[in-house]
Amino acid sequence: MMRFIRENRGSASLEFVLLAIPLFLPIFIFMNFFAESTDTQTSLRTLAREAARTYVTSKSDEIAAEVMSQVISEGSSALGYSHSIRYWVRCSQSPCIYPNGRVAVTIVARLQNSKSIEVTAIEYVSPWA
């Protein structure tokens, strides 16, 4: 009987290695992918919000487009997305800078795994602009 007990020593760790690790590995991979995607989305949403704020606080459409482009360029290079970012602006009316005007800035970034993330931020021009 004592010999049988000695022979089973370490069997729980062997079962863990053979059964639990292969089951947990896909979960860890998914969690890592989800965390990276969520982090990217949060960063891009902040960048889009700052770009929209920059746009609506400018004096004219020309200045707004130039300054917003610079904000997105600097922000995307700081975040490491400089080569994979596209953006565009949609306004509720032309010109964009008018009292209570609605400006939506959309940013699309392509990740390394070829998944793209699209975020949009909406800001309004001051009623006293």
Angle between helix 21-56 and helix 61-79 axes, rounded to 10 deg: 160
Class of 11-124 in CATH: alpha beta
- The whole-model pTM stands at 0.79
End-to-end CA gap in the chain? 90
CB 103 within 8 A of CB 56: yes
Question: So where are the chain's domains?
Answer: 11-124
Per-residue model confidence as pLDDT tens for the chain (129 residues): 555 555 666 677 878 788 888 888 999 999 998 998 899 999 999 999 999 999 999 999 999 999 999 999 999 999 888 778 999 999 999 999 999 999 999 999 987 777 889 999 999 999 987
Record the tokens describing residue 69, joined without a space.
């482009």
